[in-house]
């Protein structure tokens, strides 16, 4: 089978990241909190999807696009995953910059369209309402910087271990996207109250500047912490489960060039 072209890989990462940000953040912006009124007009009640629905939306975006384009790019959709894949020997380092650019641009385009659509609702104010990540007063439950940083590093590291394990050639074939999507759902169920859940710098960047309200100034945390987590996960998986191999990209060119076992 012909290997995907570099352009095809970058397009897959663009569209996959776009879908993740548009579907995940869109569910939070448009559908998480919907209030309905009783027939008699005397009471109101919540009909939105809430935290659970948003968590499922993020997981479903990854499942659907991993099945759609995982065989092309490896379905990273996340700079931290790409960094972990390079550290763990699944991606040549030379491909990392292109992946990162495609992911960030895909996230920003999604953020722009989310903003444009949201502004079509009378009275909508984007400030603080674009599903941005944050700590302190910008955390959904006012968690401080230390708590948010630890959570983001820890959850991203485990996410990398799941991704590398689920796409390992020894894993059951065809189930990688499900394991990865369900893992992302679980991560959101844990940490939406903490930081609104990033574990993905492209997701955070995609909406931060449209959200305002402190999100751009806090964006560094949602780059640094996930990338550290990605490095940790990328180191731990080969150390613990691949006979202690520290490939740092050298092995990738020889036997597995991407986190591409999603096509198995």
User: What is the full per-residue pLDDT of the chain (264 aa) written as tens digits?
Assistant: 688 999 999 999 999 999 999 999 999 999 998 766 666 666 676 778 999 999 999 999 999 999 999 999 999 999 999 999 999 999 999 999 999 999 999 999 999 999 999 999 999 999 999 999 999 999 999 999 999 999 999 999 999 999 999 999 999 989 999 999 999 999 999 999 999 999 999 999 999 999 999 999 999 999 999 999 999 999 999 999 987 765 444 444 334 444 444 443
pTM as predicted: 0.90
CB 26 within 8 A of CB 114: yes
The CA distances from residue 71 to 59, 76, 94, 258, 263, in Å, are 18, 11, 19, 9, 5
3-state secondary structure of 239: helix
d(CA 61, CA 47): 22
The CA distances from residue 196 to 40, 64, 141, 222, in Å, are 35, 22, 9, 11
Q: CATH: 2.40.110.10, 1.10.630.10, 1.20.1080.10, 3.40.50.720. Which one for 6-263?
A: 1.20.1080.10
As given in the structure block, the two tokens for residue 174 are 């065809």
d(CA 230, CA 224): 10
């Amino acid at each position: 089978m012909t290997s995907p072209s570099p352009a095809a890989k970058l397009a897959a990462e663009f569209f996959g990241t776009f879908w993740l940000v548009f579907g995940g953040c869109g569910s939070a912006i448009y559908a998480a909190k919907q209030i309905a009124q009783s027939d008699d007009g005397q009471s109101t009640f919540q009909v939105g999807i809430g935290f659970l629905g948003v968590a499922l939306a993020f997981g479903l975006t990854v499942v659907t696009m991993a099945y759609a384009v995982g065989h092309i790019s490896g379905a990273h959709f996340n700079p931290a995953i790409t960094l972990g894949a390079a550290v763990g020997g699944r991606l040549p380092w030379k491909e990392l910059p292109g992946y990162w650019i495609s992911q960030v641009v895909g996230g920003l385009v999604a953020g722009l369209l989310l903003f444009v659509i949201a502004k079509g609702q009378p009275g909508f104010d984007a400030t603080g309402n674009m599903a941005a990540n944050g700590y302190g007063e910008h955390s959904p439950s006012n968690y401080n910087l230390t708590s948010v940083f630890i959570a983001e590093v820890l959850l991203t590291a485990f996410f990398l271990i799941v991704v590398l394990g689920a796409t390992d050639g020894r894993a059951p074939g065809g189930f990688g996207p499900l394991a990865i999507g369900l893992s992302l759902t679980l991560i959101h169920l844990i940490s939406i109250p903490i930081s609104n859940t990033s574990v993905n710098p492209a997701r955070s960047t995609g909406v931060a500047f449209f959200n305002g309200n402190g999100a751009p100034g806090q964006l560094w945390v949602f780059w640094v912490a996930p990338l550290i987590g990605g490095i940790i996960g990328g180191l731990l998986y080969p150390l613990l489960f691949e006979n202690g191999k520290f490939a740092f990209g050298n092995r990738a060119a020889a036997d597995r060039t991407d986190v591409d076992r999603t096509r198995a």
